[in-house]
Amino acid sequence: MILVTGAAGFVGYHTIRALIAQGETVVGVDNLNDYYDVSLKQTRLEDLKKLNGFTFYKADIAERNTIEKIFSAHPEIDRIIHLAAQAGVRYSLENPYVYGESNLTGHLVMLEAARALGSRCKHFVYASSSSVYGGNTKTPFSVKDEVNSPVSLYAATKRAGELMAQSYAHLYHIPATGLRFFTVYGPIGRPDMAYFSFTKNIVEGRPIKIFNHGKMRRDFTWIDDIVAGILAALETPPKPGDLHCIHDAPHRVFNLGNNQSESLLDFVETVEKALGKSAQKEMCEMMPGDVVETYADIDATYEVLGYRPRTPISVGIPKFVEWYKSYYGV
């Protein structure tokens, strides 16, 4: 049995569907916070509740007593996929405390839950972020690069999560794998992400904000490719001394990206083409905490997990636009 946090989130929803399709039994946890439109989370959750083998708890991962009770109610849990977190670089400038509660305290609670499982814990897989690369200028970003210069609180909390997992793997021999996601997009995704807001504004005839005057690049990764990486990681728990393990602990970190850095303006053009409508562009300065470019080196991910992304934005964006039109009745 697998416990998945962030079950009603974008990545969590698609991951659980894939796990259930493989015949797994899943316990999902989510607090359904209002960082973005809760109706999207409810839609995902209602869909998941139709699946055999799925049990849901509305709970906050930072509330350790509640999490302990969930684990006690399901002694069959032997793997954890920890995806819940407060997301968003820019929001961390407005509401920093929620990042400490979710990304630090919540992460600690989940690590403690894994420790309590003892030898029953076969694998602790958790979400990190490409944001940990911070001010790095060498591209593509490699897991061998130093990541000691976060440029946002969000990035700092995700890097802290990696270090916390390293310490628990070292002290308690918990097999752990961190996955650095690179700009995930796809159907029933997050409205705060650029691809979603661009689509919405273009459809509604409102301008879109182009930060750094368009001089930005992102490694956009289709949701199905991310899920494939998560499942491959789950099936490959590390042992001390395995390839890419960190020091003597059973802990590894991998990039999950498309291995292709796209120009922001080219990306906007792809959205425009899929919609058949031009955007009104409002050129803006760089936002605090943002980075100019992300680009994933996935050599280590392929070497260990056999991970190869399959979906370019020329395929993914039209699929997202098709979903958007259908869901919102455009």
3-state secondary structure (DSSP) of residue 169: helix
Known active-site residue 154 = yes
Domain membership of residue 126 (yes or no) is yes
The pLDDT value recorded for residue 309 is 97
The pLDDT value recorded for residue 137 is 84
The pLDDT value recorded for residue 90 is 82
The pLDDT value recorded for residue 241 is 87
User: Would you give the distance in Å from CA 283 to the centre of its chain?
Assistant: 28
pLDDT tens column, 177-223: 999 999 999 999 999 999 999 999 999 999 999 999 999 999 999 99
Domain membership of residue 273 (yes or no) is no
Alpha helices by DSSP H, listed for 173-298, are 194-203, 223-234, 264-275
Counting every residue written for the chain, the total comes to: 330
Range of the domain at 307: 2-190+221-259+295-311
Q: Provide the pairing of β-strand 26-30 with 54-58.
A: parallel
Cβ burial 93-116 (10 Å sphere, 16+ → b, else e): eeeeebbeebbbbbbbbbbebbee
Domain membership of residue 210 (yes or no) is no
C-alpha–C-alpha distance, residues 102 and 165, integer Å? 15
Alpha helices by DSSP H, listed for 189-329, are 194-203, 223-234, 264-275, 299-305, 313-328
C-alpha–C-alpha distance, residues 289 and 307, integer Å? 29
Q: Judge contact between 239 and 175, C-beta under 8 A.
A: yes
**What is the enclosing helix (H) or strand (E) of 209?**
strand 208-210
The terminus-to-terminus CA distance of the chain in angstroms comes to 40
C-alpha–C-alpha distance, residues 251 and 246, integer Å? 6
Cis amide bond preceding 318, omega within 30: no
Domain membership of residue 330 (yes or no) is no
Phi/psi at 268 (nearest 5 deg)?
-60, -40
Domain membership of residue 278 (yes or no) is no
Which residue, 165, 197, 171, 168, is CA-closest to 88?
A: 197
Domain membership of residue 46 (yes or no) is yes
Domain membership of residue 101 (yes or no) is yes
C-alpha–C-alpha distance, residues 245 and 168, integer Å? 14
3-state secondary structure (DSSP) of residue 37: coil
**Per annotation, catalytic residue among 126, 154, 168, 185:** 154
The domain total for the chain is: 1
Residue 67, domain CATH? 3.40.50.720
CA distances from 116 to 2, 78, 176, 183 (A): 15, 11, 15, 33
Residues of the chain with pLDDT under 70: none
Q: Judge contact between 146 and 137, C-beta under 8 A.
A: no
**What is the enclosing helix (H) or strand (E) of 42?**
helix 38-49
Phi/psi at 317 (nearest 5 deg)?
-60, -45
Domain membership of residue 120 (yes or no) is yes
The pLDDT value recorded for residue 228 is 98
Q: Which amino acid is located at 108 in the chain?
A: L
C-alpha–C-alpha distance, residues 238 and 223, integer Å? 24
Q: Which amino acid is located at 237 in the chain?
A: P
Q: Which amino acid is located at 104 in the chain?
A: L
